[in-house]
Amino acid sequence: MGKILVTGGLGFIGSHTVVELQSSGYDVVIIDDLSNSSIDVLDGISSITGKKPEFVKLDLKDKPKVEDFFKTHSAIKGVIHFAASKAVGESVQEPLKYYENNISTLVYILKELQKLPSASFIFSSSCTVYGQADTLPITENAPVKKAESPYGNTKQIGEEIISDTCNVSKNLKAISLRYFNPIGAHESAKIGELPIGVPQNLVPFITQTAIGIREQLSVFGNDYPTPDGTCIRDYIHVVDLAKAHVIALERLLKNDNKSNYETFNLGTGKGSSVLEVIESFERVSEKKLNYKIVGRREGDIISAYADTKKANEELGWKAQLNLDDALRSAWKWEQTIRE
């Protein structure tokens, strides 16, 4: 079935995708620079699947090292590219770090793939490319709006680089997967989200508050034009997301793609407000969450949730797990790592 390269494969979504790839019989090699992940995740993966993926510690900004890697790994049939910096707030403070790390690495990998007889490329993109969409739910045809952050801009630019490259490379075909809000953890609680420092995202902040690491959750605003005044997002279980990556890769490996470059939204199709997430967490954890309403966070959009029709019909993929399932798994993971 050929070897699949997963860059950023020790990260949150990457590690869950490696598990699904191995479970589907693929031979996986991971590249990770360990800048935002732990080598212990490798044991977590192999403890689930019984197979230890090949691992290469490599900074993809090092072009000669990327070239050397592909010289010794010519059997690669497909690449799932997660490796990137992804903190929205940090990207505003350090734009060049984001443009260098997220764009130059993508270019170096694509240049190597162009040399292979054929290559299938899956790009980790984000619903952030839509900004605040004018129409909900959001379809893949929604206009890409001016990015609200350098991070979001690197996803927009990345998609354009891939599309332009696929247009002129007969041997290369690609799919960009636009994730909504990935949350949760593998049911085994052997892998999950490992935010470094104070979590920026809602769900890890909730679970760290519930376990006592954080004093109190701040809810960023309840004066939005939504039913309960808090922002709405489409929270998708990371395992559903991981399975979609394998399906998208197989679409390319089997030449089922309809064009050389395609995009798919990956969400549940259901929007949940911050207060609804808190209520769901309290129900599944049977714990009262300590939170307070504070002012809005700069750059937050009001509401975003996916129109999942294209992924349902073209990929034959639909999210199987709901918000309670995801929060239950996130809580089990938090409890496990703090034991």
Give the residue, chosen from 15, 17, 154, 181, that forms a contact with ligand WQD under the rule CB under 6 A: 181
Give the residue, chosen from 202, 246, 266, 275, that forms a contact with ligand WQD under the rule CB under 6 A: 202
Q: Which is nearer to ligand WQD, 88 or 321 (CB)?
A: 88
- Based on the shown chain and the rule CB under 6 A, indicate whether residue 274 belongs to the binding site for ligand WQD: yes
- Based on the shown chain and the rule CB under 6 A, indicate whether residue 297 belongs to the binding site for ligand WQD: yes
Smallest separation (angstroms) from ligand WQD to the CB of 223: 12
Give the residue, chosen from 104, 201, 222, 226, that forms a contact with ligand WQD under the rule CB under 6 A: 201
- How many H-runs (helices) and E-runs (strands) does the chain carry? 12, 13
Residue 145, CA atoms < 13 Å, CB-side half-sphere: 13
Active-site entry in 26, 151, 261, 305:
151
Give the residue, chosen from 77, 173, 233, 270, that forms a contact with ligand WQD under the rule CB under 6 A: 233
How far are the Cα atoms of 40, 122, 216, 283 from residue 337, in angstroms, in the given order?
12, 30, 20, 21
Residue 235 among the catalytic residues: no
Using an 8 Å Cβ cutoff, are 252 and 78 in contact?
Answer: yes
Three-state secondary structure of 104-118: HHHHHHHHHHCCCCC
* Residue among 258, 266, 261, 103 at smallest CA distance from 174: 261
Name the one range near ligand WQD by CB under 6 A: 60-68, 91-99, 197-205, 241-249: 197-205
- Based on the shown chain and the rule CB under 6 A, indicate whether residue 219 belongs to the binding site for ligand WQD: yes
Where b means 16+ CB within 10 Å and e means fewer, 184-217 reads bbbeebbbbbbbeeebebbbbbbbbbbeeebeeb
Q: Tell me which residues touch ligand WQD (CB under 6 A).
A: 86, 88, 126, 128, 181, 200-202, 205, 217-220, 231, 233, 274, 297, 300
For the annotated catalytic residues, the residue numbers are: 151
